[in-house]
Amino acid sequence: MDFAGVQRRLEHLRREIGRHDYQYYVLNEPLIPDAEYDRLLRELEGLEADYPELVTPDSPTQRVGGSPAEGFDEVNHAVPMLSLGNAFSDEELAEFDRRARDRTGSDQPLVYLAEPKLDGLAVSLRYEQGLLLRAATRGDGSRGEDVTRNVRTIAAIPLRLLGTGWPEVLEVRGEVFMPRRGFEAFNRQARERGEKPFANPRNAAAGSLRQLDPRITAQRPLAFYAYGLGEVSTADLPDTQSGRMAWIKGWGLPVSPELAVVTGVAGCLGYYRRMGERRDGLDYDIDGVVYKLDSIAQQEQLGFVSRAPRWALAHKFPAQEELTRLLAVEFQVGRTGALTPVARLEPVFVGGVTVSNATLHNMDEVERKDVRIGDTVIVRRAGDVIPEVVRSLPERRPADAQPILLPAHCPVCGSDIVRPEGEAAARCSGGLWCGAQRKEAIKHFASRRAMDIDGLGDKLVEQLVEQGLIQNPADLYTLTLEQLASLERMAERSASNLLAALDASKATTLERFLFALGIREVGEATARALARSFGDLEPLMAADESRLQQTPDVGPVVAAHVHAFFRQPHNREVIGQLRDADIRWKPLEVVSPAVSPLAGKTFVLTGTLSHPRDEIKDRLLALGAKVAGSVSKKTDYLVAGADAGSKLTKAGELDIPVLDEEGLNRLLEGLSP
């Protein structure tokens, strides 16, 4: 993978992990198994380790989880609530122990405090002068949600600490969870009332703790185990993790009865296997065990990485698996048009729940696993969250087993399904029309960098779609004052302002319009390159893939996406409606990269420049140049701003021409630098 490919992959991984963090931590609606999330995060960590210059402050590796949910006040954690590193094998545990011994300089086996890894919701309890003052969720590790009123309803959590001698400020970290017996009783009662039961105890605990009405939380059978400390106003603390847990237990805070002090890797593995054997008999869900160095001095010696302590590790259990039969496959269309094959199964009891549906991820996975309708398959509750089909058993395959075929047309809107060569995901090409993609398509169309429709936020788009007032972006321009004013929280003045913003958005640029269409892989830079290459919309819509690939930075994959998008009658119909609504732009003078003196030249940008790098990059790409992230023998020019560092040094070593911004501007204007 070249440097630009690494950049694109990092951006993709960060977007995906951020989306799944939000689904898991904020909405409690995870879309992928924990195992798949772990793979994404490990790939991101690996790439960032190889390319440290590409690490960004907003990378998921630099934080812990999602943002606080709406409806609760924010709480800033005095001491961050960090996540834990994961191990999935005995070898990874041994490597963790080796690193800990190396860093502590210990030639003796290390002593750990081991405990079950509860599958619930992490919270921080702040006691001042012995009284429970505030409770907060982990949130993003630095900021959480204030759930004090709800936590006060949990009988296991003392409102006043027992005994005496507690510090003036004591923050206790732990896990709120729903015991299995309580979960089963609650779901049974929910079914009797005709209500939807919870999918699993983890979702039940998270959903219960986030009720806006604490009276509802009070009716839920929640429990709590403490596992550590945050801010404490005294330095006079026990010098071991086990001592601190006994310390807070003495003040009435529950801790896991399974806590155990173990020695070395052998002691950790013995505990791990004992808990694995007892897992199904526990009254609460666990997905592994946690090891923490028992010595606080050694903990302080090891310290932290950006998102996790070096002195603690979560050792995950293997996902639980069962055999069942694949009855059928249905294809679901996601909000971005991606098709996901979903297996309909003979119901089977896996990991404490009955599973009748499981993900097959994508067609590459279907083909790799050789799964067919009628097969006996292994089903895994990966990460104890979302079931997946692991593989088929060909030796048990019936004679009438049927292959799984990708549909030619979208099951929602009937548009063509496209699957560019080399991509795992197949997608609906009816982005402007498809009901499954409707909300996201309109939100993107209205966004600031697209059509910039001021006042048309996400919640308003959702209202308009849900009430049937709009079905595609063109319908925005048919809205009336009466329709808008009738919406929730929309007075006549707000409605008038929105109509004015819609009218103002009609005068735009071709590149903004192209970006607003939401064509797969067409970001702002590619939209700008297409606009400059074709000058107007009609020749672009008529272009074949070969002509599209003559545009700078447009390869076979992007060309296939663009061509497929404009080939769909539904998309062309919506574009026609948008033009009829008087959306307009000034045609551009076509820039032909083939005759540009910069065609094929490779530039590298470094240092502090007076204009955004993306802007400079776009100008270069539009003239047929390439922009790389690192200096090599293939580099033609280095553009250096203030405080240029190692790239400038390397350019000097390789005798590569160096331009300041004035020299670059002269070059872009066709003059000698």
Active-site amino acid positions? 117
For residue 312, what are the β-bridge partners?
Answer: 292
Per the document, the length of the chain is 673
CA separation for the pair 420, 7 (Å, rounded): 21
CA separation for the pair 15, 464 (Å, rounded): 27
Which residues fall within 8 angstroms of residue 336, CB to CB, at 6 or more apart? 427, 437, 440
CA 88 to chain centre: 21
CA separation for the pair 528, 530 (Å, rounded): 5
Which one-letter amino acid corresponds to residue 515? F
CA separation for the pair 133, 146 (Å, rounded): 11
DSSP 524-581: HHHHHHHHHHHSSHHHHHH--HHHHTTSTT--HHHHHHHHHHHH-HHHHHHHHHHHHT
CA separation for the pair 6, 8 (Å, rounded): 5
At 174 the three-state DSSP class reads strand
**Which of 361, 357, 354, 323 has the alpha carbon at shortest distance from 339?**
361
What is the β-pairing status of strands 339-350 and 353-359?
A: antiparallel
**Which of 454, 450, 462, 521 has the alpha carbon at shortest distance from 488?**
462
Per-position b or e across 502-515, b if 16+ CB within 10 A of its CB: beebeebebbbbbb
CA separation for the pair 381, 532 (Å, rounded): 50
Q: From residue 489, how far is each of 209, 460, 672 by CA, in Å?
A: 28, 9, 59
CA separation for the pair 273, 279 (Å, rounded): 10
Which one-letter DSSP state was computed for residue 279?
G
Q: Structure tokens of 86?
A: 């994961």
CA separation for the pair 146, 74 (Å, rounded): 6
CA separation for the pair 140, 355 (Å, rounded): 31
CA separation for the pair 130, 160 (Å, rounded): 6
Q: Structure tokens of 454?
A: 């001021």
Which one-letter DSSP state was computed for residue 56?
-
Which residue do the tokens 């996790």 mark? 308
**Which strands sit side by side in the sheet containing 111-118, from one edge to the other?**
85-87, 312-316, 286-293, 111-118, 260-263
Q: Determine how many CB atoms are found less than 10 A away from the CB of residue 34.
A: 21
79 touches 169 (CB < 8 A): no
